[in-house]
Structure 1
Amino acid sequence: MNRFNGKVVAITGGGSGIGKETAARFVAEGARVAINGRNLDKLASAARDIDPSGQKVIVLAGDISDPETGAALVDAAVSTFGKLDVLVNNAGVFNPKPFLDLTEKDYDWYLDTILKGKFFTAQAAAKAMKDTGGVIVQTGSMWAIQAIGATPSAAYSAANAGVHAMVRNLAIELAPYKIRINAVAPAVVETPVYNTFMSDDQVKEVLPTFDAFHPLGRNGQPQDVAEAILFLASEQASWITGAILPVDGGVTAGHH
């Protein structure tokens, strides 16, 4: 399938995990892609993995919590590839910590990276899309829908609930411009985010204990979420806007 022939896509958090997998799938289906992340070396390595030719992927390093980073990513896509058709607002951070231990610095880290980052990057993208139409897909979270005692995440969940609310509001505001916006809400997905607060050995030990938490009996993989993102970004979803799609192995449906 080449659903994205000639399309131009910008992806935040594109250097690893869900973002990198999503970028690879867009390129495989004919798109040209601009990826953002904080680490230039990681981004450059991801770009080489995705597109050894060097023609279809550009990189822009920067912290998405600074609105200038999102604007620069959109500008880079438009100036290099001529336009912007799709924004995948994927960058996020995660490190469970009890509410009573959360500091203002922790709170700001979550709210600025997850909510402020997605807010102003979406604004920059919408400005670039307002005459041509386009699609925004956000990575939200199952934790914004349901609290999980094993992974205390008050600030993280609050930030993602903001992302979900933003989807509904922007769906209405941007509909006259033919810009659709939706979100995926994943449960536990096996990505390098867990290595940011656990050692490799801990990850190997802890992640399998979450398999049974999902009614379908396994953790998610980056491709599970990437497939949903590509669907929402495609013409196949042309009548879907303002939706939050759980991609969670059945978690929000209930528990055994």
Structure 2
Amino acid sequence: MTSHFEIADREAMNAGRRLLGKVAVVTGAAGGIGKEIALTFIREGATVVVADLDRDRTAAAARDIDPSGERALGLTMDVTNEEQVEAGMSRVVEAFGSLDILVSNAGIQIVAPLVEFEFAKWKTMMGIHLDGAFLTTRAALRQMYRQKGGSIIYMGSVHSKEASPLKAPYVTAKHGLIGLAKVVAREGAAHGVRANVICPGFVRTPLVEKQIPEQARELGISEAEVVRTMMLRETVDGEFTTVSDVAETATFIAAFPSNALTGQSIVVSHGWFMQ
């Protein structure tokens, strides 16, 4: 029999957990920003579905996030595949009974001058960033509308607001996510659904690490110059944004209690872009 002291201890432990009882799907969560968001959500009391393309990395990330296997599920999903997205979201609802938060985070980066950019690579970028956001949003909204509530968070970028050389499809797609979030905010309000965009500055993830030598080659400058003059020049302190910075912002948005915060884009960039 559970004692009153045990109940009180449990209630005290749970009191500060902002996402207690929520079910969240985070795409692109096998590493980088997505994995940190999943870890933070778990700490805040949520059950988290780690959705990513690679089966082994996805399963490993879910185990890392919750070794008990009770509150983290690895879900192999290609966000550009309609059948996989629909089946995956259905599995989430069957397993946990609800879907309260979607973090549309899956993304890649390919850098090249626009005049040389291959159409196939352009379509790949658009597919992952925009088609993926649309498909996962549509599937999530069906459940969120049924349960009369939910929060959708898109992973934008400072490039949702600004442009940089060599990143035409990335900048285009990240701008597009703001438009999608605004429509979801308008349509979802009557159903208790909010939608917002996080716009990080440069976060030193494997995706950004890959960009540094690529941009150095394309621009004919050193890797140190890429970091100093292309990535961090406009920040107030010359610092990279961290995965923890982004995850804390995602938690704040996910836990926000009303429609006062919807249809917005929040920049997390050490002052690189100010609005």
Q: Give the TM-score, by structure 1 length.
A: 0.91
Which residues in structure 2 correspond to 1:96-175 (within 5 Å)?
96-132=111-147, 133-149=149-165, 152-175=166-189
2:259 and 2:18 map into 1 onto residues whose CA distance is 12
Contact 1:34–1:76, Cα closer than 8 Å, also in 2: no
2:49 and 2:79 map into 1 onto residues whose CA distance is 14
Alignment match, 1:44: 59
Structure 1 position 66 matched with structure 2 position 81? yes
Q: Which has the larger radius of gyration?
A: 2
Q: Report deviation, 1:72.
A: 2.7
The partner residue of 2:235 within 208, 211, 214 is: 214
2:65 and 2:95 map into 1 onto residues whose CA distance is 18
1:235 and 1:145 map into 2 onto residues whose CA distance is 23
Which runs of 5 or more residues in structure 1 are unaligned?
A: none
Q: Report deviation, 1:63.
A: 1.6
Structure 1 position 27 matched with structure 2 position 48? no
After superposition, the CA RMSD in angstroms is 2.1
Alignment match, 2:193: 179
Q: Report deviation, 1:237.
A: 5.8
Which runs of 5 or more residues in structure 2 are unaligned?
A: 1-15, 217-222
> C-alpha deviations, 1:182-228, integer Å up to 9, x for none?
010112111121355667xx9xx557533444223201111111111
The partner residue of 2:248 within 227, 233, 250 is: 227
1:196 and 1:211 map into 2 onto residues whose CA distance is 16
> C-alpha deviations, 1:25-53, integer Å up to 9, x for none?
11111111111111111111111111111
The residue type equivalent to 1:90 in the other structure is N
Structure 1 position 84 matched with structure 2 position 99? yes
The residue type equivalent to 2:21 in the other structure is G
The residue type equivalent to 1:224 in the other structure is D
The partner residue of 1:239 within 257, 260, 263 is: 260
The residue type equivalent to 1:179 in the other structure is V
Q: Give the TM-score, by structure 2 length.
A: 0.85
Identify if the C-alpha distance between structure 1 residues 250 and 3 changes in structure 2 by more than 3 Å, giving closer, same or farther.
same
| SS of residue matched to 1:130 | helix
The residue type equivalent to 2:269 in the other structure is D
Identify if the C-alpha distance between structure 1 residues 35 and 143 changes in structure 2 by more than 3 Å, giving closer, same or farther.
same
The residue type equivalent to 2:62 in the other structure is A
Contact 1:87–1:135, Cα closer than 8 Å, also in 2: yes
Alignment match, 2:29: 14
1:115 and 1:59 map into 2 onto residues whose CA distance is 23
The residue type equivalent to 2:47 in the other structure is R
2:199 and 2:258 map into 1 onto residues whose CA distance is 17
Contact 1:9–1:77, Cα closer than 8 Å, also in 2: no
The partner residue of 1:56 within 61, 67, 71 is: 71
Contact 1:212–1:218, Cα closer than 8 Å, also in 2: no
1:40 and 1:225 map into 2 onto residues whose CA distance is 25
1:224 and 1:9 map into 2 onto residues whose CA distance is 19
Q: Report deviation, 1:175.
A: 0.6
2:87 and 2:107 map into 1 onto residues whose CA distance is 18
Contact 2:24–2:103, Cα closer than 8 Å, also in 1: yes
Contact 1:34–1:73, Cα closer than 8 Å, also in 2: no
Percent sequence identity over matched residues? 33
Contact 1:12–1:19, Cα closer than 8 Å, also in 2: yes
Q: Report deviation, 1:238.
A: 4.8
